[in-house]
Amino acid sequence: MFSSFQFTNPSLERIDYSINKEFIADGVDPISIEIKTNINVEKDKEAKEAVVSLNMIIGARDNSMPFFIDATESARFKWEEDSISGVDIDVLLKNNAASLLISYLRPIISFITSSSNYPAYHLPYINLKDSPQN
């Protein structure tokens, strides 16, 4: 049985990755990496679908962090309104859709960082409740 809230194949829209060669680890393990998220929802109420894009900025471009990643993953989501009555579709698009997109970014970020001089970085669980939304 399928959910009334479906999505297309997510795609990596863009990724910018760089190592900070001047970074010096201070012996603290694990290194605390700053993560910023932004969720963009372009909803078409008549078609009962939306394109959701999740942008993640991980680390910083300066020598305070070992690397910098700016990545955007997106997918088209569709729903059957009659089947999900009583559910706030905006909450589904912001929280559930963005969480799904994180699960697609997670192995990409792990793989890219594992190819550096630093250990692979595994994205932690992220609370999207306070993430900016456009």
What does the domain layout of the chain look like in residue ranges?
5-114
Residues in the chain: 134
Confidence at residue 116, expressed as pLDDT on a 0 to 100 scale: 86
State whether CATH 3.40.640.10 applies to domain 5-114: no
pLDDT value at 102 more than 80: yes
Residue 58: Cβ-neighbour burial (10 angstroms; 0-12, 13-18, 19+) = buried
Distance between CA 116 and CA 4 in Å, rounded? Answer: 41
pLDDT digits (tens, 9 = 90+) for 14-61: 999 999 988 887 766 667 889 999 999 999 878 889 999 999 999 999
Confidence at residue 23, expressed as pLDDT on a 0 to 100 scale: 86
Confidence at residue 30, expressed as pLDDT on a 0 to 100 scale: 66
pLDDT value at 110 more than 70: yes
pLDDT value at 78 more than 80: yes
Pairing type for strands 67-79 and 11-19 reads: antiparallel
- With the C-alpha atoms ordered 111, 116, 117, 123, is the resulting torsion angle positive or negative? negative
Confidence at residue 31, expressed as pLDDT on a 0 to 100 scale: 72
* CA 60 to the chain's CA centroid: 16
pLDDT digits (tens, 9 = 90+) for 24-37: 877 666 678 899 99
